[in-house]
């Protein structure tokens, strides 16, 4: 078969998106096993896996169940239909959850115990510890519990998404003579899920007891005169996607507030129960939540692992802290605007500090020559330094405009608060474009200098969230480049006003030009290869799912272009297929920091073109969001991005996973040479860039 006759639409060349997400979660779970990570960080990787899986069920599984229920087949390029996919997801998730609890019980808890960090079982407690726990239950837990007997007058309660609950089997009669056999006890979210015992009751280590153990031990006290013959923890996961028809909404913020309340009580998609729960009670719970056996997960441990994050003062068991660096050009300058007139500044987070981005806003807020500040906000918080700087600028009389994306998933409530804070300070707040999430990361500062207006800009690949900037890898570009800044100004005009799409000089932006420009750059690389010049494409992003981009990369491979893809999580393109994608290699880096940078590199016959972007290669980013993709034009900065952001990752042999033609990922061999191979790439960057 000739390359020209190969059908790039055939399902066999694509990997299902949901199954690719689960493969990513498996790689995260493997970090809990990896002795290369400090012990407490390994434990926390187990928690991250739980949180990832929770969101997967809340959004992805919920959506598939809805499609299956409505009989709306909506297969992706891989051709899998919802019902078949749900069956495969169930098989994978049951194996993964079993492995998660095996790691918890057989590997991590024993390892923590050797470090005198213990989670005590009820039978392990001393008499003094048991006495303290009983007092704690009566004084701190029992007053906020609400036991609910189940009878015709008290139907099964409406339980909040992912909340910890107990179903209790009872014997005897209550004060009204009722013989109630079952009761439900919800555990309020205000209660800590892990309780640390006082030092005087321990052997000098950190000893904890689970809230679930405390309630199990003393649950009979909630039912005086009756006895509890069994107490079993359970948790239900619900559909948490928002169903909001923006075309029918007059006030998006008010409508979202109502939807956020409904999110807590969406349709059930998963039931987790203690593994010792009797089958009749399990069947009863499944009926109450309208779930099937495949939706049931019996677990050997706490059902709410996502709430077990440990913050202990054990430096030896955690990654060493570090101080992110600040570029010398900014250290020597008290006025960032003067520094940016001399050169662009590139920050590689978290190895380099996010503080200069905040400082730019602070200086803008206080500078009498600054007239206006405009900024997009996707994920941040009302107490963040970024928001406080914008509020200060507004109070100081600057024209402050904030484009806030209220629909950033699971940050909707926080973003509504941000909007309120800024509006109260006098800023103009807009919510972007109906039907298009504003995901671009931009700041524009307008300053009067010698009777003319000069623009300064920040463009980033990550959110304006200082906490994320400590754990996510991202790029920030601070610039006074006239054309880049003009482009940023035009995009803000699109977001706040009306009119046709702006014609930009330097930036690509979704939903207008980014997709087409990336395809054109791939085609140019194909042309170089066909004309005998070496072709090379390197993409680093979080996900690749958009079909036309994947097909263009496969055509590039067929033309002999070397394609290296560094993809953190989801990749629906199958590499290594003869005659289709044999020149494509896909790797994933999983480590201490969450890889979040988006970089697009084209060799361009020796005149390399490098772009950084807020956008991944997904349909939603390219067609349903406002995104930016900005060139790295300074020659020295281009070299830095190529070396630090791409080549070092391709050389990594310690944190790399390689995607196989069968859709599975394998850990790369540690053998190999290269500067970055001496350390995991993230450790190498810490050593190279931090102080």
DSSP per residue, 74-116: ---TT---HHHHHHHHHHHHHHHHHHHHHIIIIIIHHHHHHTT
- The CATH number corresponding to 121-309 among 3.30.1840.10, 3.20.20.60, 3.40.50.1360, 3.40.50.20 equals 3.30.1840.10
Give the predicted TM-score (pTM) of the model. 0.92
Q: Give residue 6's pLDDT.
A: 84
Please, how many CA atoms are within 13 Å of residue 408, restricted to the half-sphere of its CB?
Answer: 24
CA distance 7 to 554: 11
pLDDT given at position 4? 54
Q: Is 439 a catalytic residue?
A: yes
User: Which residue in 348, 349, 439, 528 is the catalytic one?
Assistant: 439
Residue 626: which region, alpha, beta or left (left: phi > 0; alpha: psi -120 to 50)?
A: beta
Collect contacts of 418-425 with beta carbons under 8 A, ≥24 apart.
418/377, 418/380, 418/381, 418/382, 418/387, 419/253, 420/382, 421/382, 421/387, 421/391, 422/387, 422/390, 422/391, 422/394, 424/391, 425/390, 425/391, 425/392, 425/394, 425/395, 425/400
CATH 3.30.1840.10 maps onto the chain at 121-309
Second CATH level (architecture) for the domain 328-500: 2-Layer Sandwich (3.30)
DSSP state at residue 151: B
3-state secondary structure 490-551: HHHHHHHCCCCCCCCCCCEEECCCHHHHHHHHHHHHHHHHHCCCCCEEEEEEEEECCHHHHH
Say what the pLDDT of residue 214 is: 95
Domain with CATH 3.30.870.10 in the chain: 328-500, 509-689
For CATH 1.20.58.310, the residue range(s) in the chain are 13-115
- Which helix (H) or strand (E) segment is 483 a member of? helix 482-496
Length of the chain, in residues: 691
Per CATH, the number for 509-689 is 3.30.870.10
pLDDT beneath 70, residues of the chain: 1-5, 72-74, 152-153, 174-178, 242-264, 407-412, 670-678, 691
Ramachandran region, residue 526 (left: φ > 0; alpha: ψ -120 to 50; beta: rest): alpha
E strand or H helix that includes residue 347? strand 345-349
Residue 422 and residue 429 in contact, taking contact as beta carbons nearer than 8 Å: yes
Give pLDDT, residue 245.
44
Helix (H, G, I), strand (E, B) or coil at 196: strand
Any idea which fold 13-115 has? Methane Monooxygenase Hydroxylase; Chain G, domain 1 (1.20.58)
Cα dist from 477 to 138, 462, 626, whole Å:
56, 11, 18
């Amino acid at each position: 078969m000739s390359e020209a006759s190969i059908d790039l639409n055939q399902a066999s060349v694509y990997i299902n998106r949901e199954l690719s997400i689960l493969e990513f979660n498996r790689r995260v779970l493997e970090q809990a096993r990896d002795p290369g990570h400090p012990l407490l960080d390994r434990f926390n990787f187990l928690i991250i896996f739980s949180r990832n899986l929770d969101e997967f069920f809340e959004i992805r599984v919920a959506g598939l169940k809805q499609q299956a229920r409505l009989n709306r087949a909506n297969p992706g390029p891989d051709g899998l239909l919802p019902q078949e996919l749900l069956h495969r997801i169930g098989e994978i998730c049951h194996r993964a959850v079993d492995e998660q609890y095996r790691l918890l019980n057989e590997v991590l808890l024993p390892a923590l115990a050797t470090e005198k960090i213990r989670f005590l079982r009820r039978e392990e407690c001393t008499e003094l510890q048991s006495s303290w726990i009983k007092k704690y239950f009566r004084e701190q837990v029992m007053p906020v519990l609400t036991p609910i007997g189940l009878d015709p007058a008290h139907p099964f309660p409406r339980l909040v998404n992912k909340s910890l609950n107990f179903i209790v089997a009872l014997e005897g009669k209550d004060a009204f003579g009722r013989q109630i056999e079952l009761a439900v006890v919800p555990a309020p979210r205000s209660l800590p899920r892990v309780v640390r015992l006082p030092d005087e009751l321990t052997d000098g280590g950190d000893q904890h007891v689970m809230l679930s153990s405390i309630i199990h031990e003393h649950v009979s006290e909630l039912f005086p005169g009756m006895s509890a013959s069994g107490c079993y923890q359970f948790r239900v996961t619900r559909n948490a996607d928002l169903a909001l028809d923006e075309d029918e909404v007059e006030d998006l913020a008010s409508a979202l507030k109502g939807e956020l309340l409904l999110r807590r009580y969406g349709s059930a998609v998963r039931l987790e129960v203690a593994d010792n729960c009797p089958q009749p009670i399990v069947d009863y719970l499944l009926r109450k939540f309208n779930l099937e056996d495949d939706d049931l997960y019996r677990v050997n441990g706490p059902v709410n692992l996502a709430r077990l994050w440990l913050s202990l003062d054990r430096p030896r068991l955690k990654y060493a802290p570090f101080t992110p660096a600040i570029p010398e050009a900014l250290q020597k300058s008290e006025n960032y605007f003067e520094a940016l007139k001399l050169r662009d500044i590139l920050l590689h987070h978290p190895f380099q500090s996010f503080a200069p981005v905040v400082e730019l806003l602070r200086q803008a807020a206080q500078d009498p020559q600054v007239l206006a500040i405009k900024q997009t906000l996707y994920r941040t918080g009302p107490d963040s330094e970024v928001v406080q700087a914008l509020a200060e600028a507004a109070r100081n009389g600057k024209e402050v405009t904030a484009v806030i994306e209220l629909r950033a998933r699971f940050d909707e409530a926080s973003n509504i608060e941000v909007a309120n804070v800024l509006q109260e300070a006098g800023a103009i707040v807009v919510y972007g474009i109906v039907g298009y999430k504003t995901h671009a990361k931009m700041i524009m500062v307008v300053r009067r200098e010698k009777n003319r207006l000069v623009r300064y800009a920040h463009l980033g690949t990550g959110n304006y969230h200082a906490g994320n900037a400590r754990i996510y890898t991202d790029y920030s570009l601070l610039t006074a480049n006239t054309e880049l800044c003009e482009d940023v100004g035009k995009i803000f005009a699109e977001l706040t006003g009306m009119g046709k799409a702006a014609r930009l000089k330097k930036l690509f932006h979704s939903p207008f030009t980014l997709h087409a420009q990336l395809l054109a750059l791939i085609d140019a690389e194909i042309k170089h290869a066909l004309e005998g010049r070496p072709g090379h494409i390197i993409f680093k992003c979080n996900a690749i799912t958009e079909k036309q981009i994947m097909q263009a990369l496969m055509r590039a491979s067929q033309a002999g272009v070397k394609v290296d893809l560094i993809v953190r999580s989801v990749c629906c393109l199958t590499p290594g297929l003869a005659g289709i994608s044999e020149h494509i290699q896909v790797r994933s880096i999983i480590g201490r920091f969450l890889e979040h940078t988006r970089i697009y590199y084209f060799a361009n016959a020796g005149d390399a073109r490098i772009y950084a972007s807020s956008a991944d290669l997904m349909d939603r980013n390219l067609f349903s969001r406002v995104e930016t993709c900005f060139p790295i034009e300074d020659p020295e900065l281009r070299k830095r991005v190529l070396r630090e952001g791409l080549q070092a990752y391709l050389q990594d042999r310690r944190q790399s996973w390689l995607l196989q033609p069968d859709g599975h990922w394998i850990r790369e061999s540690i053998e190999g040479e290269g500067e970055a191979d001496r350390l995991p790439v993230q450790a190498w960057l810490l050593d190279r860039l931090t102080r």
